[in-house]
Structure 1
Amino acid sequence: MAEAECSAASPAGDSACSVKQEEEAVGVYDSKCIFCRISRGQEPGTELLHSPDEDLVCFKDIRPGAPHHYLVVPKKHMGNCKTLTKDNIPLVKKMVEVGNTILQRNHFTDLEDTRVGYHWPPFCTIAHLHLHVLAPASQLGFLSRMIYRLNSYWFITADQLIERLQAENTAS
């Protein structure tokens, strides 16, 4: 929220505005980022399927590539998967865990028939870390099979990302 909007919203100085401005200053929140706004419930019409966790939210993809297509997103604004380090491995694992929980909550239990991963830069449409959880993978359409293709230049599974992060740190 811009400073003028904060002043207009609350002439006395709304503490929520101050918090948002402070968070933007330290890179925790980006008011221009759709995923930051969704994670804070600021986008009408987006149902949060997982939000009790302090760090992650989950919601349906607006252009689903499979009958179940969810995005798991950190509430804190983070760059794409190329910006991650070994320290982020627990976050990646937690994102997968949340995705699997949402699938099971929506009566999809064949976790072997899923596609779970990240678009690899520069093939990211939104510059905020987000995990795609698609199921059943066996029902991906032609275009979705291309967009979420395993072993491609533009998509990496969560397991592959974890392996890369572990390998980068053993090489250092």
Structure 2
Amino acid sequence: MSDSDNPTGYDSKCIFCKISNNPENDSDLLHCDEDLACFKDIRPGAPHHYLVVPKKHVGNCKTLTSEDVQLVKTMVEVGKNVLQKNNVTDLEDVRLGFHWPPFCSISHLHLHILAPASQLGFFSRMIYRLNSYWFITADQLIERLEASRTPS
């Protein structure tokens, strides 16, 4: 896909756009549908470490609005489904979240799926630390986005 084919939804300079929209990568994708793709993190922080990304270019989690709540919820569903397909049965021992800007290495929205969370190594426990100012769980992001809705 070139920029001219989809001028608003694809960034040819973005590695996650390239990975999720390249048919040659299909064998590396653990999930791929019209909107989302999932693949293994190249620097795994847990035995199961996957990234769920929108196929269209979306900025980081700080750029989301209340209209994006369903997107985040769907990303979580995809992540949990991929875990289950990979024989992860304890969905209580998982960490699902996003790095909070400016602590993002790639500025394309990506949900980290880590399992089992109890097996995170020392550095991973720091990088994906709960209640830190550099990492926000999917549930915390959803709450934040829902709270930003203006009452009608």
Range into which the TM-score falls when normalised by the shorter chain: over 0.9
1:21 Cα deviation after fit: 1.6
**Which one has a larger percent strand, Structure 1 or Structure 2?**
2
Partner residue, 1:112: 92
SS in 2 for 1:69: strand
- Give, in whole Å, the separation in 2 of the partners of 1:160 and 1:54: 26
1:167, CA displacement in angstroms? 1.0
* CA deviation after TM superposition for structure 1 residue 140, in Å: 0.2
Q: Give the equivalent residue in structure 2 for 1:5.
A: none
- The aligned counterpart of 1:81 is 61
Separation in structure 1 between the aligned mates of residue 30 and residue 109 of structure 2, nearest angstrom? 17
Structure 2 unpaired stretches of 5+: none
Deviations 1:2-55 (A, max 9, x none): xxxxxxxxxxxxxx55xx3242x32x101110000000126769700001x210
Could you list the runs of 5+ residues in structure 1 that have no partner in the other structure? 1-15
Greater RCO, CA 8 A, separation 6+: 2
What pairs up with 1:1-172 in 2 under 5 angstroms?
A: 17=2, 20-23=3-6, 25-26=7-8, 28-41=9-22, 47-51=28-32, 53-170=33-150
How many corresponding residue pairs?
A: 152
* CA deviation after TM superposition for structure 1 residue 62, in Å: 0.1
C-alpha distance 154-107 of structure 1, shift in aligned 2 (>3 A): same
In structure 2, how many angstroms separate the alpha carbons of the residues matched to 1:45 and 1:72? 14
* TM-score, with structure 2 as normaliser: 0.94
**2:149 counterpart SS class:** helix
Identity, % of aligned positions: 72
> Which structure has the larger Rg over C-alpha atoms?
1
Alignment root-mean-square deviation, CA: 1.9
C-alpha separation in 1, matches of 2:144 and 2:26 = 36
Structure 1 ranges of 4+ moved more than 4 A: 42-46
Amino acid at match of 1:36: C
Amino acid at match of 1:135: A
**Does the 8 Å contact 1:46/1:59 carry over to 2?**
no
SS of the aligned residue for 1:126 comes to: coil
Paired with 2:24 and 2:134, the residues of 1 have a C-alpha distance of 28
